[in-house]
Chains A and B, each alone.
Chain A
């Protein structure tokens, strides 16, 4: 099919505002009378709050409000309501906010924070998930059994540190392992890591008279934020307006609700003056949430032929001090626990575990980058034990049309093609090509050994079974079309994709799509959240439906004016025309706000199309077996990597990464490839350096970009090759499915497998620092 706009590399529509610095972020906003907020955070990972003395701080001129957990005690939590706005009675992680100040300027607020005196009584800390699940473990939350949650979806275990236990049972484990010729069991670890949006969390809030609340926030999910705010602070939804201007990256860390209630309560305490809070980089790192850590155990039973017959999986998620999105990550990684493989006998236990670490939240990949470290390393290790090529081993077990997933979901042609992805990347690095004798000799001389690794991936949006979205398209007087969706474009290019869909569907030039990059809940139509790689597929479908609705209205008016039946009419070049007599036409601008006859009679009215979409056919999963349909769409992919390990130093250089993602249909080639490269490099960060480190008391040590390194330009591989595989998703817009998170999944496993190929060392924990590689080489 030939399209004008779909699939084309249209430059992003927010480009000009962003390259000129005119794009306004919350950081850049200012209101008259605005106050500035600072917070005081806990120096302990676990301690009782014995006394808070604010007397000196409140005497400081210019201080307008001071809050502690006494006033800001209300609890937040998207799935389990467990986190007080400010710590109450005790602190559960280093960096937890304990008190907050609003003052006339930032210096005064900072001085006031220093003057607040807090007495703590340190408690024993819990820093290891495997310790935390033991029956005699100390408790991070004594009251877990009484916390509000979503019944039938999440299963907290009262009196323990387990805030959710997802179970999946399929087939007969005993029989499966009995039939196996070989059983391989391994443990894998992934440390907590950071999102690192370049813009830290930023909020301005104004709590007006009559509880009219306005919030400007760097938030990914304005509607969910509004809803959670309303519940936590008992304010009606219609009183709360959330505005999201440009946001400087999210990666999951800006989903849900974080600082907004605190800033709003400060405004309330300061008689409704607007209050601005911009997290410092240190607060972004140590107070705001991170990605959870993982301890994984996988036991695989396999036939000599290479067919996997049984797999037993345990995922212990280090949620840190609060559950946040963590309980749903546990669930999502539970139902995709074995990766894109068909296995008949499976047992999965995935648990969210409280510790006294920084709390975790949603993060690009929603747990899948972590579990795929375990899954795809395990596949490599099993293949090695079998003495089988790991590509061949994977191909024997991968999902293909006719296969059934571990939740009982059938796979069709239109589900996507992981085998094609894997073969594409394997070809891309010349998998199976042996080193020449000269190359081997050179490796011995230099100590620099080359190796190749492959890994597959898959992920579906993890969301409630009824997550919905909507769109409105409205024609302006000149025939341009404004669209309105409440999903956020935080740089992923979603609005450009929406504009392309509208231009395509309504036959207008893309320049005539009116795109607004600020969203607010008072004006925008409903959207659940901008997470889970769901915007292109769900908002894309809603936008198409809105265009269809507008087309109906155009045909209705045109049918009257042109005296033609609907089936004789068509849209083209900013007009509606009679197919047989194309000169018989009405331009959009002639009917955008109603059509007027020469004598002054008018019909119609402003053209406004409405569209919606909701996840189709999903079910709640069975509590005991995990069976059901959790996936709106599966996006499959694969990476192959070639590395060179310097055995003299442990340094690993990435020579080449080849990535293939089956995204159904490319909407914008330039933007999607940019997003894929970005995800791949974010994955490289987790492979080479990123890791939160704590001392033995649970104090965070990696609190700056000096101690916590994300990739710079110097860390780029020599070559990155991206392949977009297009197996259309029948219910996706033009066949598209989401792929925002997927590029970063399995980068660590491809690299770990490549290091093993190069050197023979088997790594079980990320990241692969030179130190770790060197020590493993010299064990």
Chain B
């Protein structure tokens, strides 16, 4: 059954129709065409589909699109503004915090949600907040360094 949905994605307002059983991930990827958010497991176990919903990181494969009604969603497509990368994006490149790039959008959104809540997390807090985001390539060290560097940039 189709339902009407109203919400904001990366600051843009949308009025759409969505099957009532659709996940937020499906809505973003298949209806809005925002394919930067990836599906890695479809079960909330890998974090590849992480987006920010009303200021908090969520696995968008485990949230119904309708749960986001009237809410504010931020995805990787909203990170770079006016052709300029965000500090997290810049630091991920500078510190090699990515390899294949498949987990990267989710990693960056998870890191962003952490920095909103806690602008200067220590290493343990980063690990705690981002342990739900799996990466098979990097061994995580460079990701942690990237987040730490972005957090330092917050200070400046």
CB distance from B12 to the nearest CB of A (A): 16
The segment out of B1-9, B42-50, B63-71 that lies at the interface is B42-50
CA distance A187 to B34 in the complex (A): 52
Give residues 15-43 of A contacting B (CB, 8 Å).
Answer: 15-25, 27-28
A682 touching B100, Cβ below 8 Å: no
The winner among B40, B101, B142 for most chain A CB atoms within 10 A is B101
CA distance A109 to B141 in the complex (A): 41
A249 touching B136, Cβ below 8 Å: yes
Q: Which of these, B101, B102, B141, contacts A720 with CB under 8 Å?
A: B141
Contacts of A11 in B (CB 8 A): 93-94, 96
B139 touching A246, Cβ below 8 Å: no
Whether, in the assembled complex, B73 has its beta carbon less than 8 Å from a beta carbon of chain A, the answer is no
B96 touching A491, Cβ below 8 Å: no
Give residues 34-89 of B contacting A (CB, 8 Å).
Answer: 34-43, 45-46, 48, 75-77, 79-80, 85, 88-89
Whether, in the assembled complex, A706 has its beta carbon less than 8 Å from a beta carbon of chain B, the answer is yes
Size class of the A contact interface (CB-based, 8 Å): 35 or more
Contacts of B137 in A (CB 8 A): 198, 249, 491, 678
Contacts of B144 in A (CB 8 A): 713, 716
Contacts of A18 in B (CB 8 A): 98, 101, 104
Whether, in the assembled complex, A346 has its beta carbon less than 8 Å from a beta carbon of chain B, the answer is no
Task: Please classify the interface of chain B as helix (H, G, I), strand (E, B), loop, or mixed, using the class held by over half of its residues.
Answer: loop
B79 touching A20, Cβ below 8 Å: yes
Q: Per-position contact with B for A247-289: 1 when CB-CB < 8 Å, else 0?
A: 1110100000000000000000000000000101100000000
Whether, in the assembled complex, A680 has its beta carbon less than 8 Å from a beta carbon of chain B, the answer is yes
B99 touching A197, Cβ below 8 Å: no
Task: Please classify the interface of chain A as helix (H, G, I), strand (E, B), loop, or mixed, using the class held by over half of its residues.
Answer: loop
B96 touching A710, Cβ below 8 Å: no
Whether, in the assembled complex, A477 has its beta carbon less than 8 Å from a beta carbon of chain B, the answer is no
Give residues 93-147 of A contacting B (CB, 8 Å).
Answer: none
CA distance A248 to B130 in the complex (A): 19
Q: Which of these, A25, A678, A713, contacts B99 with CB under 8 Å?
A: A678
Q: Per-position contact with B for A440-453: 1 when CB-CB < 8 Å, else 0?
A: 00000000000000
A674 touching B100, Cβ below 8 Å: no
Contacts of A493 in B (CB 8 A): 99
Whether, in the assembled complex, A214 has its beta carbon less than 8 Å from a beta carbon of chain B, the answer is no
The winner among B35, B79, B108 for most chain A CB atoms within 10 A is B35
Contacts of B48 in A (CB 8 A): 198
Q: Per-position contact with A for B107-128: 1 when CB-CB < 8 Å, else 0?
A: 0100000000000000000111
CA distance A668 to B127 in the complex (A): 27
CA distance A712 to B128 in the complex (A): 10
A197 touching B79, Cβ below 8 Å: no
Contacts of B80 in A (CB 8 A): 20
B98 touching A25, Cβ below 8 Å: no
Q: Per-position contact with B for A665-682: 1 when CB-CB < 8 Å, else 0?
A: 000001100110111111
B38 touching A198, Cβ below 8 Å: yes
Whether, in the assembled complex, B24 has its beta carbon less than 8 Å from a beta carbon of chain A, the answer is no
B100 touching A248, Cβ below 8 Å: yes
Contacts of B37 in A (CB 8 A): 21
Contacts of B85 in A (CB 8 A): 16, 19-20
CB distance from A174 to the nearest CB of B (A): 46
CB distance from A368 to the nearest CB of B (A): 19
Contacts of B108 in A (CB 8 A): 19
A281 touching B36, Cβ below 8 Å: no
B138 touching A674, Cβ below 8 Å: yes
Q: Per-position contact with B for A1-17: 1 when CB-CB < 8 Å, else 0?
A: 00000000001101111
Q: Which of these, A247, A281, A671, A713, contacts B140 with CB under 8 Å?
A: A713
| A24 and chain B: residue at smallest CB distance | B35
Whether, in the assembled complex, A618 has its beta carbon less than 8 Å from a beta carbon of chain B, the answer is no
Q: Which of these, B43, B104, B138, contacts A678 with CB under 8 Å?
A: B138
| B34 and chain A: residue at smallest CB distance | A21
CA distance A247 to B94 in the complex (A): 21
B92 touching A677, Cβ below 8 Å: no
CA distance A464 to B141 in the complex (A): 36
Contacts of A711 in B (CB 8 A): 139-140
Contacts of A712 in B (CB 8 A): 131-132, 134, 140
B139 touching A677, Cβ below 8 Å: yes
CA distance A249 to B139 in the complex (A): 13
B126 touching A713, Cβ below 8 Å: yes
CA distance A490 to B40 in the complex (A): 16
CB distance from A452 to the nearest CB of B (A): 21
B76 touching A20, Cβ below 8 Å: yes
B46 touching A674, Cβ below 8 Å: no
In the complex with contacts A16-B93, A492-B99, A248-B38 CB distance below 8 A: yes
B77 touching A21, Cβ below 8 Å: yes
B138 touching A677, Cβ below 8 Å: yes
CB distance from A10 to the nearest CB of B (A): 10
Whether, in the assembled complex, A704 has its beta carbon less than 8 Å from a beta carbon of chain B, the answer is yes
CA distance A716 to B39 in the complex (A): 25
In the complex with contacts A198-B38, A248-B38, A704-B139 CB distance below 8 A: no
Contacts of B93 in A (CB 8 A): 11-12, 15-16, 19
The winner among B43, B85, B99, B134 for most chain A CB atoms within 10 A is B99
Contacts of A200 in B (CB 8 A): 40
In the complex with contacts A21-B77, A199-B102, A720-B139 CB distance below 8 A: yes
Contacts of A716 in B (CB 8 A): 127, 139-141, 144
Whether, in the assembled complex, A714 has its beta carbon less than 8 Å from a beta carbon of chain B, the answer is yes
CB distance from B65 to the nearest CB of A (A): 15
CB distance from B94 to the nearest CB of A (A): 6
The winner among A24, A28, A492 for most chain B CB atoms within 10 A is A28
Contacts of A675 in B (CB 8 A): 99
A27 touching B141, Cβ below 8 Å: no
Q: Per-position contact with B for A336-378: 1 when CB-CB < 8 Å, else 0?
A: 0000000000000000000000000000000000000000000
A713 touching B131, Cβ below 8 Å: yes
Contacts of B42 in A (CB 8 A): 280-281
B98 touching A22, Cβ below 8 Å: no
In the complex with contacts A18-B98, A19-B98, A491-B101, A281-B76 CB distance below 8 A: no
Give residues 703-754 of A contacting B (CB, 8 Å).
Answer: 704-706, 710-714, 716, 720
Whether, in the assembled complex, A196 has its beta carbon less than 8 Å from a beta carbon of chain B, the answer is yes
CA distance A198 to B142 in the complex (A): 17
B139 touching A681, Cβ below 8 Å: yes
Contacts of B133 in A (CB 8 A): 713
A677 touching B101, Cβ below 8 Å: no
In the complex with contacts A197-B136, A678-B138, A716-B140, A491-B94 CB distance below 8 A: no
| A197 and chain B: residue at smallest CB distance | B136
Contacts of B35 in A (CB 8 A): 21, 24, 27-28
CB distance from B109 to the nearest CB of A (A): 10
A15 touching B139, Cβ below 8 Å: no
Contacts of B142 in A (CB 8 A): 674, 677
A714 touching B127, Cβ below 8 Å: yes
CA distance A28 to B37 in the complex (A): 9
List residues of A whose CB falls within 8 A of some B CB.
Answer: 11-12, 14-25, 27-28, 195-200, 246-249, 251, 278, 280-281, 490-493, 670-671, 674-675, 677-682, 704-706, 710-714, 716, 720
Extra 14 A-B pairs, beta carbons < 8 Å, given A18-B101, A491-B99: A15-B93, A19-B88, A21-B104, A248-B102, A278-B39, A281-B41, A281-B43, A671-B96, A677-B139, A710-B136, A712-B134, A714-B127, A714-B131, A716-B127
Smallest CB-CB A-B distances: 6 pairs: A21-B36, A248-B102, A491-B100, A18-B101, A681-B139, A491-B99
User: Can you show 24 pairs from A to B with CB atoms below 8 A apart?
Assistant: A15-B98, A17-B101, A19-B89, A19-B105, A20-B80, A21-B36, A21-B75, A27-B38, A195-B136, A196-B134, A197-B102, A199-B100, A199-B102, A281-B41, A281-B43, A491-B101, A674-B142, A681-B141, A682-B136, A682-B139, A705-B43, A713-B143, A714-B128, A714-B131
